[in-house]
Amino acid sequence: MNKIPNRQAICEVLMEHAKSDKDIIALCSDSRGSASMTPFFKEFPEQAVEVGIAEQDLVGIAAGMAHAGKKTYCFSPACFLSTRSYEQAKVDVAYSNTNVKLIGISGGISYGELGMSHHSAQDIAAMSAIPNMRVYLPSDRFQTAKLIEALLTDDSPAYVRVGRNPVEDIYSEESTPFEMDKATVWKFGDGIGKKIVIVACGEMVRPALEGAKSLEKEGITVTVLDMYCVKPFDKDALIKAAEDADLVVSVEEHAPFGGLGSDVASVVSANKPCKVVQMALPDDHVITGKSKAVFDYYGLNAEGIAKTVKGNL
């Protein structure tokens, strides 16, 4: 079992680059521990800014620093970062086009038992709706590292959501196929029989892959798209995968509005119409529990995905 959460992978990449690039700045809102950024703050105090519990200030200050030449990374729980500082993300970051990377930690229902105040089930919708804001939900620590490496090379705004808990590895040190803003494509099955596409992002990629493997054993051909790049959405990959599909299923740790499922439905319906089923959190208060138990309750696991596929074929 992997014990390194994606947020730690971010810290490690930033620390590696911060040694030689003094313009890399990490900002926290009393969140350095929960962001796994304590080592960065200890080793690079000159490149670390603490703003206290003040998310609006966090993003505004980061935008000002970026405008004055810094490469800023803001760390705060996704629930607060995507809503409390939404206007700063819209105006000071995206509209002013400042080099700010917003890192939403403990995203989705990572804080499952802490209630709706701590859930971020709307962040994809909110951030995607802002022009000039990219939205990424990497699936494991290796892909997260690749994503941060890529983001370090550009100077445009982005929002990255990662979960609190370690997730099982999907990729590896040796093999992490990654192309910026292109979905990673997995194929299962012999191409005979029913063909389905599963599009997933973030922590839902792992159960999507496991579900696909079980479907393969039942003679179903499955293409899984790891759509870590929710915006810009990799339309081409989905259109290609949906070419002769009998069913497309989207899986996301998000409310059923304005997230991955909405993008999948609009792209498929406009280009390769076929049946599309969305799997997401409910439009309701999410049940209390640790995230795995909550995922299981709503069928957002390998079994639930396989069951949904079979029930819709």
Partner 1 sequence: MNRERVKELSIKAMDLRKVVLEMIRKSGGGHIGGDFSVMETLVTLYFDIMNISPDNKDDPDRDYFVMSKGHSVESYYAVLADKGFFDTQELIDTFSQFGSKFIGHPNNEVDGVEMNSGSLGHGLPVAVGMALACRMDKRPSRIYTVMGDGELAEGSVWEGFMAAGHYKLGNLCAVVDRNHLQISGTTEEVMTHENLHQQVESFGWNVLEANGNSISEMSEAFQSAMNVDDKPTLIIANTIKGFGGGDVMENNVGWHHHVPNDEEYEKIVKAIDERREELENE
Site string for partner 1, 96-135 (x = CB under 8 A): xxx-------------------------------------
By CB under 8 A, name the one of 38, 83, 95, 310 that touches partner 1.
95
Contact between 91 and partner 1 (CB under 8 A)? yes
92 binds partner 1 (CB under 8 A): yes
CB of 232 to partner 1, least distance (A): 22
Shortest reach from residue 159's CB to partner 1, in Å? 18
Least spacing, CB of residue 65 vs partner 1, in Å: 4
Question: What is the nearest approach in angstroms of partner 1 to the Cβ of residue 86?
Answer: 11
Pairing of strands 48-50, 71-77: unpaired
Distance CA 116, CA 255 (A): 12
DSSP E strand boundaries for the chain? 24-28, 48-50, 71-77, 100-105, 134-136, 158-161, 184-188, 195-200, 221-226, 229-231, 247-251, 275-279
Least distance (Å) between residue 96 CB and partner 1: 5
Say which residue the tokens 């509005």 belong to. Answer: 257
Residue closer to partner 1 by CB (options 133, 276) is: 133
Reduced to 3 states (helix: H, G, I; strand: E, B; else coil), residue 28 is strand
Could you tell me which of 212, 217, 198, 216 has the C-alpha nearest to residue 260? 198
The two counts, helices (H) then strands (E), for the chain are: 12, 12
Q: How many residues bind partner 1 (CB under 8 A)?
A: 29
Q: Which is nearer to partner 1, 44 or 257 (CB)?
A: 44
Which residue, 92 or 226, is less far from partner 1 as judged by CB? 92
Rounded (5°) CA angle 73-77-78: 85
CB of 147 to partner 1, least distance (A): 24
List, in order, residues 6 or more apart from 82 with CB less than 8 Å away: 89, 102, 104, 120, 122, 123, 126, 127, 159
**Rounded to whole angstroms, how far apart are CA atoms 41 and 90?**
27
| Residue with smaller CB distance to partner 1, 127 or 242 | 127
Closer residue to partner 1 in complex, CB, 90/161: 90
Q: What is the CA radius of gyration of the chain?
A: 19
Residues β-bridged to residue 279: 251
Q: How far apart are CA 72 and CA 66, in angstroms?
A: 6
Q: How far is the CB of 116 from partner 1 (least distance, A)?
A: 22
CA distances from 53 to 24, 56, 156 (A): 22, 9, 25
| 87 touches partner 1 (CB under 8 A) | yes
Axis-axis angle for helices 302-311, 205-217 (nearest 10): 50
Sequence length of the chain is 313
CB of 74 to partner 1, least distance (A): 11
Among 6, 31, 36, 88, binds partner 1 (CB under 8 A): 88
Which residues, numbered 33-72, are part of the site for partner 1 (CB under 8 A)? 46, 49, 51-52, 54, 56-57, 59-70, 72
Query: Judged by CB, which is closer to partner 1: 117, or 172?
Result: 117
> In the complex, what is the shortest distance from the CB of residue 250 to partner 1, in angstroms, rounded to a whole number?
33
Is 157 near partner 1 (CB under 8 A)?
A: no
Q: Contact positions toward partner 1, by CB under 8 A?
A: 25, 46, 49, 51-52, 54, 56-57, 59-70, 72, 87-88, 91-92, 95-98
